[in-house]
Amino acid sequence: MQHFLINKKNKLETINYAFAVVCKSLGNPVYLQNELESVSPENMFSSNTLDEASKICREYILNFNLGGGNWAGGQVYHPKKGLIANISFNGKVWKLNNTKYPNEDLKKQWNQLELNNIID
């Protein structure tokens, strides 16, 4: 994937150019997998829009054949505001108060997104 930033063995340095999205998984006990162990590598990717972050998550999920019970990633970080969103297994982008981001916001660059009311 073109926007690979780090893996879990490295610390994230200051990112001042894009969103960062976490992709990771956990075992699903329904399939006799250890729920404390990852079934795919934990990675972080950069993206310029929330829509791109969603696509990165969906590609990761498909590449590692993850189910809904495996998905533990999707945390989206803004370089100045920190955690601003979560991406669910189906690719929907959620504000921290569990409301969806408006479609017009999904296409905005990280530095164009108005974040005064991240949680509202």
**Measured CA distances, 90 to 73, 86, 107, 120 (Å):** 12, 11, 18, 22
Q: What pLDDT is stored for residue 106 in this prediction?
A: 93
Question: How confident is the model over 25-41, as a mean pLDDT?
Answer: 81
Check whether 4 has a pLDDT greater than 70.
no
pLDDT in tens, 55-103: 999 999 999 999 888 999 999 998 888 999 999 999 999 999 888 888 9
Between residues 103 and 12, the one the model is more confident about: 103
Structure tokens at 72: 């533990």
CB 70 within 8 A of CB 27: yes
**Measured CA distances, 98 to 50, 86, 87, 119 (Å):** 15, 8, 10, 9
Domain limits of the chain?
A: 4-106
Q: What pLDDT is stored for residue 49 in this prediction?
A: 94
**Measured CA distances, 12 to 5, 43, 50, 55, 111 (Å):** 8, 11, 19, 21, 19
- What is the Cα gyration radius of the chain? 14
When the pLDDT of each residue in the chain is averaged and rounded to a whole number, the result is 83
Longest dimension (CA), the chain: 44
Question: How confident is the model over 42-54, as a mean pLDDT?
Answer: 94
Structure tokens at 9: 């063995």
**Range from 20-24, 25-29, 63-67, 104-108 carrying the lowest mean pLDDT:** 25-29
DSSP state of 31: G
